[in-house]
Amino acid sequence: MYPHRAVGSASLLVLGSALSLMPSNANAQTALPAVTVDAPRGATARPAARKPAVRAAARNQARPPSANPAPAASLTAGITPSVARALLYQAPNGQTETTIDRSQFDNRPAFSIADVLRESPGISVKQGNGPRDVGISIRGSNARNGFGIRNLVIFDDGFPVTQPDGLSRSDLIDPKAYGAIDVIRGPSSALYGNYATGGALNFRTRPGGTIDGAEYGVDGGSFGYLNNYLAYGKKVGNFEGSLFASDARGDGFIQNSWFNTQTVNFLGTLHATPDDRFTVKFINNNLDARLPIRLSLNQYYQNPFQAGCDMAGVAGCASVNLLNNGFNGTRTPITAVQAGLGRDDRRTIVGGRWEHDFDNTTTWRNQFVFDDRNINQPTGATSAIGDFPSYNYMSDVTKRGEILGMESTTYFGAFYNTLTASSDNRNVMPGGNAKLGLLASNTFSDTSNYGVRAREELKLTPNLTAIAGIGWETTHLKGINTSYTYGTPNVPIATPGVPIVADRQFQNTAPELALLYKLNSEWLFRARVATGYGTPQVGNLFVLSNGQNGNNTQLKTQQNLGYDLGFDWTPNNTLKFSATGFYEFFKNELVTQATQVGAPNASYTFNAPRSEHRGVELAADWKFLPGWRFTAAYTYLDEVYTEYTENIINGATFSFNRAGNKIPGISPHELTARLGYEQMWGPLAGLGAFVEVQWKDSFYMDNANLLKAPGYELVNLNVHYNTDLVSDYFKSLSMYVEVRNVFDRTYVASANNIANSVTTAGAPSLANVLANTTGSIYAGSPRAFFAGMKLAFK
């Protein structure tokens, strides 16, 4: 949840060294707003009353403070409660931010967030373990992680969808539900707490008043893809609500990748009194999907889409060795099709928020979220089974006023969240349909985070704004991992191993400081120094480098200190160009690499003592002629180990100095560029088209920098049509056709980091050996055709 703004005459100057969780009122807004229905997101201009609205498409980084209405002699003079509430939902100054507007993805398939987030610089995506499961990286934050989303924090209308253990999954996100997406880039733990070493995302649904009726849409296309979706929203009296539901299914373009998933997303706000607002959030996602096995690089070159892999032994087909009886003895290599590997998951989130205005200057918020992740994931030699319920509570007070005549906003909040679970790993055995054998291991986990945040924003001069804040947090990890062995052949009697116990407590403090300088109406300069931290999760503490269960409880918190320097140039209303350079210093960076297929655990996590991340982010939005628009998002990343010795065991232990090596999984260059045209008048008004280019450079897959995943360039073409309808029942009609990957390039959509190996004599394995390491690669989609329509009802 995001902090608010209120209007007031007195403030408290907080801690002078950093920033925390709190939006400001300047148009130099650069972080995630806490969105409720009271904060409409569909507009592109800011009214005089300064009600928040969706920022224009790809409006990056901070906006000029001078764009705000000039303050009155007293900042509280004439402020009404409605205006004070509006101020609460503007995003904070000082962050490096992009807002992706719905207009950038409304007239295209937008099946998953991978189709949308590329519009922001600093973002990289890779295919995860499921149709909508996408690994999202901000400045390379998640590129070193094997599954899910880590090292950034995700919100949905200000409600957290990152669980207390730091894991986020994008299965529950259907882009069709959202009006805008805010991307916060860089270390942000002062603002968002644990795990925000890379930044944060906020997905904002459309309020009911913006929809004002019902919408039905359908998308269909290659590989059996079909998505039916419905949106309904209204504002009636003191209540505003919106409901989105979708049903998506498809056969997949890789063998054994069919899917069937349903999503529901509801947001409603009741203005119970002039001073009290109650907001309810509900999200539910059901996923039933089959899952292919990740390939080695050589297998990818031989058979990228795993065609004909009904039986093991076919060239280019990956397999997993399963215990014939499900608990001990001999193993048989089985393909994903034979085993029936997949996922059967449910995610349910229920949240409530109460906001109370003490007066026109002070607002108090309380928010509670229940988040339940229920999984059944036979994705390899074992199946992860468990229920992960979590609880998240926060409370904060915001006050706005003056300090020595300078406009000021002050925020203070506290939070607590916890997740307790018991999960099993059961052996998968031959027989199809993910037939389960006996118990391989059990993990009890308890993760709790609690802390406080404070923030002060001060407008030193009409052109200079300073922001300082700080966050303090304690994280407590408790876990017990018990492995089970079956010593007598074909006798299903388990012998539990000695339990591995973890009881770790971490305390972290994250300061942040930012300056914004508005030179004139065209130029805004930004400077920021910020910190982030991320603790390991309980499951990381019990996995060894070979993928077996064991003691890895020495893992430490990763920390980063980042410096951002950038500018926004807006010479007129047709051009905006933004540039940001950053340099981040990591200590004990948590890096994940894949283990061999067939191991009980798919990935292993370790600390790299020192590393450095640096890069450049560029964004352009240019409407150079009526109807024409060019947009581009480019990211350059250079991320290296500066202190890290890797120990590899093959009989003896052999050590290798990786200092100076590139961190694997990081593509140095990524670009998304689009040229489009919209016919704005005449009989063809509403007809539009665009061509889009996506480029991702090659990158290393291993710590020794011996093996690279190939880069790619893709071209997409889209033609669409929108028209208003003259009818008593219908409002508008939208249609599109799109060709993805026009030139039918075969490319790597996902490559997990792989482990280096050595001979018994200690000689490192060369690239030709590493290229046979399985458990890494999924290919991207070949050429695909899509078409869709959406009908809006009154």
CA–CA separation, 86 and 63 (whole Å): 18
pLDDT of residue 148: 87
Query: Structure tokens of 126?
Result: 């890779």
CA–CA separation, 638 and 341 (whole Å): 37
Query: Structure tokens of 738?
Result: 């799109």
pLDDT of residue 92: 67
Of 546, 590, 586, 593, the residue nearest 707 (C-alpha): 593
pLDDT of residue 598: 61
Query: Is residue 518 a contact partner of residue 64, using CB atoms and an 8 Å limit?
Result: yes
Q: Length of the chain in residues, anyone? A: 794
Query: Is residue 642 a contact partner of residue 612, using CB atoms and an 8 Å limit?
Result: yes
Task: Give the containing element (helix H, strand E) for 784.
Answer: strand 784-793
pLDDT of residue 313: 85
Q: How far is CA 415 from the centre of its chain?
A: 21
In which residue are the tokens 């590393």 written? 611
In which residue are the tokens 């893992």 written? 555
Of 738, 626, 730, the residue nearest 685 (C-alpha): 626
Query: Is residue 17 a contact partner of residue 169, using CB atoms and an 8 Å limit?
Result: no
Task: Give the containing element (helix H, strand E) for 411.
Answer: strand 406-428
For the chain, how far is it from start to end, CA to CA, in angstroms?
33
pLDDT of residue 398: 92
For residues 629-651, one letter each, b for 16 or more C-beta atoms within 10 angstroms of the residue's C-beta and e for the rest, the string is: bbbbbbbbbebbbeebebebeee
- E strands of 5-158, at which residues? 59-60, 96-101, 123-127, 134-138, 153-156
What are the beta bridge partners of residue 551? none
Spell out, as residue ranges, where the chain has pLDDT lower than 70.
1-92, 594-599, 602
Q: How many CA atoms lie within 13 A of 479 on its CB side?
A: 29
Q: Write the DSSP string, 360-422.
A: TTEEEEEEEEEEEEEEEEE-SSEEEEEEEEEEEEEEEEEEEEEETTEEEEEEEEEEEEEEEEE
Query: Is residue 593 a contact partner of residue 603, using CB atoms and an 8 Å limit?
Result: yes
CA–CA separation, 115 and 110 (whole Å): 5
pLDDT of residue 81: 45
* Model pTM score: 0.88
